[in-house]
Structure 1
């Protein structure tokens, strides 16, 4: 029986849209019979190519998703887990403002619709840690169901140490690592990092879910590693994607 904690970061550009051609056919190749449990795309809308084969994780990524069609989708979604804010410390959103929005708009989703809510997912640097600690203190009376985190680096031990430190600080809040990846430029090192962290997380009952970045045809930016891509430019899957989708434990 597979331990199903893995989420697929399915970039929005993989979905056909106005002015761009996606690779929706690639979703048909994805297996949800193993460790993969869910799909995210940093948006409120579900990729139509998912075809209901796995749960989708809608996200209120920025303040722009708090009204209009995006907010209507959040309010009417049949999905049971909703992510709140993606690296707000880098988007100019203060912990105080995010806490106000949490109480005013997000908590009614839990109270009235039974949704489970993920905290904002901050970067693991000092600014990100300071932000999330402040926010958690501001919402301590009505905390999130899950603590959202991000981690990028080259040392698997440091990634594990970070997750343990956050768990020790918030022991009653299960963790969703909503983005993580090795930024090493050598594939064997990328695979070593990914194997170490994934196999360890599978054994921790307080890690609810994790999302390896990212399934997209183009490298997102100069920070992430081309060697850590889950998708090739033609829409086919990389070796790392096949391992992430199929292997448990992950191995060379």
Structure 2
């Protein structure tokens, strides 16, 4: 865009008039999860595994694992009503100030904060409380996610005993302070070490942790193995939580074991089968596909729900259940839509001297 700057009088401009924020909030490192192409100890008996449809199925389950901050318009994913919530691997909701905030700061999606680990507990807990008190997200904060892959050296990385102590010292008091606030377990990876960590966590909790739901991750290329893994977690952990439900806060068609990866058609079919299963299964409460970002951080890029400009793509439309001809534009200009012509007028008073910046279309 050409900028024509007209100064009323010659003056020296100091400081930035418009804040720009392109940095994602993602605190998550590149995934190190072990893929479960063959599930070792999962329950594979499907005699009673016919999904049951209840009021918890379908609408309200789909969410976004969001690492774009305000650089991408999140509202294009909420037009159909399929997606109802998001999280950022952090305690930070999308901000109400800065570049792009006029879009994302007004999202209707429910925000779910996460206490990622023990690196900055005081600041993160303070931020979570600020978000709860400000009530600036749609409907307020209803749940908080526990730590991110604590069994993984590249993630929050601590023992179950440390996790239990952190939980009792910080998360449980948070839920006591704000009645009705729900707590999700530390989200473990889908490898055997993830399940073992969570089993030890509940054993050491000894009924003291008051967990509401189990959060979990899964990566692999076999949708049947994914479904078997969910059944295994349901049977193993449901009696340890108040709601007896699962949140799948990361999953994608990606192989961390070998170089065999899903094609785009494989990803489409994988998403279709696994999402339908979760929508129709009452004990799967919520889920968030790993793909709502422009850079998938080492995960197969065919899983992306948007293109490199941040615009929702065909897989994203599938995820939000959009009809082929349905417009998902929110009516505002996104950061990735600089190709559109537009006019910006800005009048600044600086030491009594004004200037006007006019943006003219290409």
Q: When the two structures are superposed, what TM-score results if normalisation uses the length of structure 2?
A: 0.62
Q: 1 or 2 for the larger relative contact order (CA 8 Å, sep ≥6)? A: 2
Matched, 1:96 2:150: no
Verify the 8 A CA contact 2:294 2:308 in the aligned structure 1. Answer: yes
Give the corresponding residue for 2:315.
240
| Displacement after TM superposition at 1:32 (Å) | 4.8
Give the corresponding residue for 2:304.
229
Structure 1 unaligned regions, length at least 5: 17-21
Secondary structure in structure 1 of the residue aligned to 2:319: helix
Specify which of 150, 153, 170 is matched with residue 105 of structure 1: 170
| Displacement after TM superposition at 1:65 (Å) | 3.9
Structure 2 unaligned regions, length at least 5: 1-54, 96-103, 133-140, 255-260, 324-362
Residue pairs, 1:118-157, within 5 angstroms: 118-141=184-207, 142-157=209-224
Secondary structure in structure 2 of the residue aligned to 1:75: helix
| Displacement after TM superposition at 1:235 (Å) | 1.0
Secondary structure in structure 2 of the residue aligned to 1:167: helix
Rounded Cα–Cα distance in structure 2 between residues aligned with 1:112 and 1:67: 16
| Displacement after TM superposition at 1:31 (Å) | 2.0
Larger radius of gyration: 2
Give the corresponding residue for 1:195.
272
**Higher share of residues assigned helix:** 1
| Displacement after TM superposition at 1:76 (Å) | 3.2
Give CA deviations for 1:46-96 in whole Å, capped at 9, x if unaligned: 11314141110100111124112x221112332110001010111431100
Specify which of 168, 171, 176 is matched with residue 247 of structure 2: 176
| Displacement after TM superposition at 1:218 (Å) | 1.4
Rounded Cα–Cα distance in structure 2 between residues aligned with 1:54 and 1:204: 22
Give the corresponding residue for 2:121.
66
Rounded Cα–Cα distance in structure 2 between residues aligned with 1:50 and 1:242: 22
Give the corresponding residue for 2:63.
7
Superposition RMSD on alpha carbons, in Å? 1.8
| Displacement after TM superposition at 1:171 (Å) | 2.5
Rounded Cα–Cα distance in structure 2 between residues aligned with 1:75 and 1:140: 27
| Displacement after TM superposition at 1:170 (Å) | 1.9
Are residues 232 and 52 of structure 1, via their aligned partners in 2, closer, same or farther at CA, if it must alter by over 3 Å?
closer
Rounded Cα–Cα distance in structure 2 between residues aligned with 1:65 and 1:32: 35
Verify the 8 A CA contact 2:76 2:312 in the aligned structure 1. Answer: no
| Displacement after TM superposition at 1:247 (Å) | 4.9
| Displacement after TM superposition at 1:213 (Å) | 0.5
Matched, 1:81 2:143: yes
Number of residue-to-residue matches in the alignment: 236
Rounded Cα–Cα distance in structure 2 between residues aligned with 1:234 and 1:54: 22
Rounded Cα–Cα distance in structure 2 between residues aligned with 1:84 and 1:32: 29
Rounded Cα–Cα distance in structure 1 between residues aligned with 2:274 and 2:172: 32
Specify which of 14, 36, 58 is matched with residue 83 of structure 2: 36
Give the corresponding residue for 2:42.
none
Q: When the two structures are superposed, what TM-score results if normalisation uses the length of structure 1?
A: 0.88
| Displacement after TM superposition at 1:9 (Å) | 1.4
Secondary structure in structure 1 of the residue aligned to 2:249: strand
